[in-house]
């Protein structure tokens, strides 16, 4: 089998010739070791700072060239994901966002008082203060039931189209698909949870507005040549969901089900990236028609063998190598994790090996190489 057929077969629950390999993302520090140079590939803070400086075209050209070269060198990877931050739709040509004022080496402030902070742990910029977090007005008028549709500028597809053209028919490609938010768009996480509790009718309105907007975008969407799509909504933390399972079924699952159905109508398979302890909503994911569950977090009690038993062939699984081991473990521990994952989930197909989240910032290069080496030795059926 070629990589594309192998991954498609596994995601459909079948038994391919070999276990496919994929990751949600390979962050920039590992990518730089493979490429032998600095890159914007998954360098989230670096990309944003370049956008502030008006260097959009430089970023996009680096993303295109480096993503193609990275996966040409990593030809053991069957799956390439073009639906993660920085590696998806890109800003349009001429993009020059508001540039915040730099306060110190790690802090920036926008004119409206919002504050960004750089984290060396994730090499990302995070909004740490928003003065209007709780005062920004929200009403039904913000969520029209017949929302207007404006298609993305064609230049937003530069990265997706270039990488797809380089690997179409050869690798299994995941790309962006217009979808309704699978978390009610009522502000940031803290505010949205309060709004769900205090104004559930507004949350219902936001859901219906989002579904209507997504339906218009989906009707206009044309596939540039990829095989599936991946959504990255996290509904849970280590001990359970952020909202009650009942609230999730009311405000999140309908969007998930509608998105999956639309993707299937478009000929795409649906992969759900969902960190955290998702036991209380796992059946809801399966009922929605999710083809494959990625980001299975063992440290959140999502033991791969138990999830495999619960899914019972109704949903493919993707993961098995704890990201924590890739960052802080040893090559021997990583090899053991690969073998344990194969023992737990390989038999019967419907399994893709990868990190429990991604090849994250801080991954030790020797650990990454150990994962690939042990995988190559154990992947055959």
pLDDT digit string (tens) for 285-309? 999 999 999 999 999 999 999 999 9
Contact 28, 39 (CB under 8 A): yes
Cβ burial, residue 134 (10 Å; 0-12/13-18/19+): exposed
DSSP three-state, residue 154: helix
Per-residue pLDDT, 156: 98
CATH number of the domain enclosing 257 = 3.20.20.210
Number of domains in the chain: 1
Domain membership of residue 183 (yes or no) is: yes
How far is 225 from 162, CA to CA, in rounded Å? 11
How far is 377 from 367, CA to CA, in rounded Å? 15
Encoded tokens for 131: 């003065």
Portion of the chain with pLDDT greater than 70, in percent:
100
Domain membership of residue 234 (yes or no) is: yes
Domain membership of residue 147 (yes or no) is: yes
* Residue 50 DSSP one-character state: H
Per-residue pLDDT, 232: 87
Whole-structure pTM value:
0.97
- Cα 254 to chain centroid distance, Å, stands at 19
Instruction: Kindly report, residue by residue over 162-219, the tens digit of the pLDDT.
Output: 999 999 999 999 999 999 999 999 999 999 999 999 999 999 999 999 999 999 999 9
Domain membership of residue 204 (yes or no) is: yes
Domain membership of residue 165 (yes or no) is: yes
Encoded tokens for 193: 């949870």
- Cα 134 to chain centroid distance, Å, stands at 28
- Helix pair 28-35, 56-73: axis angle to 10 deg: 70
How far is 7 from 353, CA to CA, in rounded Å? 11
Domain membership of residue 132 (yes or no) is: no
Domain membership of residue 108 (yes or no) is: no
Tokens 């205090």 correspond to 198
Q: Of how many residues is the chain composed?
A: 381
Query: CA-based Rg of the chain, rounded to a whole angstrom?
Result: 21
Domain membership of residue 100 (yes or no) is: no
Phi, psi angles (nearest 5°) of residue 119? -110, 120
Which stretches in the chain have pLDDT values below 50?
A: none
User: Which residue pairs, CB below 8 angstroms and at least 24 apart, start in 185-192?
Assistant: 185/210, 186/138, 187/133, 187/136, 187/138, 188/127, 188/130, 188/133, 189/242, 190/133, 191/133, 191/134
What is the span of the domain harbouring residue 22? 3-94+141-378
């Amino acid at each position: 089998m070629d990589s594309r057929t192998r991954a498609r077969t596994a995601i459909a629950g079948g038994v391919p010739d070999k276990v496919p390999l994929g990751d949600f993302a390979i962050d920039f520090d590992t990518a730089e070791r493979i490429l032998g140079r600095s890159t914007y590939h998954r360098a989230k803070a670096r990309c944003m700072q370049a956008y502030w400086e008006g260097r959009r075209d430089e970023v996009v050209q680096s993303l295109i060239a480096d993503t193609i070269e990275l996966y040409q060198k990593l030809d053991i990877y069957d799956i390439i994901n073009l639906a993660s931050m920085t590696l998806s739709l890109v800003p349009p040509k001429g993009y020059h966002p508001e540039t915040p004022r730099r306060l110190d080496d790690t802090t920036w402030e926008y004119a409206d008082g919002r504050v960004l902070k750089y984290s060396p742990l994730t090499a990302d910029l995070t909004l740490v203060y928003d003065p209007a977090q709780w005062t920004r007005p929200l009403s039904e008028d913000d969520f029209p039931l017949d929302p207007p549709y404006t298609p993305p500028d064609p230049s937003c597809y530069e990265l997706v189209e270039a990488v797809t053209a380089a690997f179409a028919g050869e690798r299994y490609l995941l790309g962006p698909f217009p979808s309704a938010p699978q978390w009610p768009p009522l502000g940031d996480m803290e505010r949205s949870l309060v709004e769900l509790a205090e104004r559930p009718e507004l949350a219902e309105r936001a859901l219906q507005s989002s579904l209507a907007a997504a339906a218009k975008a989906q009707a206009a969407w044309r596939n540039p040549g990829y095989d599936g799509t991946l959504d990255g909504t996290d509904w849970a933390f280590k001990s359970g969901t952020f909202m009650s399972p009942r609230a999730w079924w009311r405000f999140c699952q309908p969007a998930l089900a509608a998105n999956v159905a639309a993707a299937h109508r478009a000929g795409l398979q649906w992969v759900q990236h969902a960190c955290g302890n998702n036991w209380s909503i796992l059946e809801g994911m399966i009922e929605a028609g999710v083809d494959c569950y990625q980001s299975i977090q063992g440290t959140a009690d999502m033991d791969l063998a138990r999830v495999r038993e619960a899914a019972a062939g109704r949903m493919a699984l993707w993961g098995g190598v704890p990201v924590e081991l890739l960052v802080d473990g040893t090559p021997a521990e990583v090899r053991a994790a690969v073998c344990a994952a194969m023992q737990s989930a390989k038999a019967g197909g419907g399994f893709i090996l990868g990190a429990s989240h991604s090849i994250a910032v801080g991954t030790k290069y020797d650990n990454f190489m150990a994962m690939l080496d042990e995988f190559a030795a154990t992947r055959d059926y």
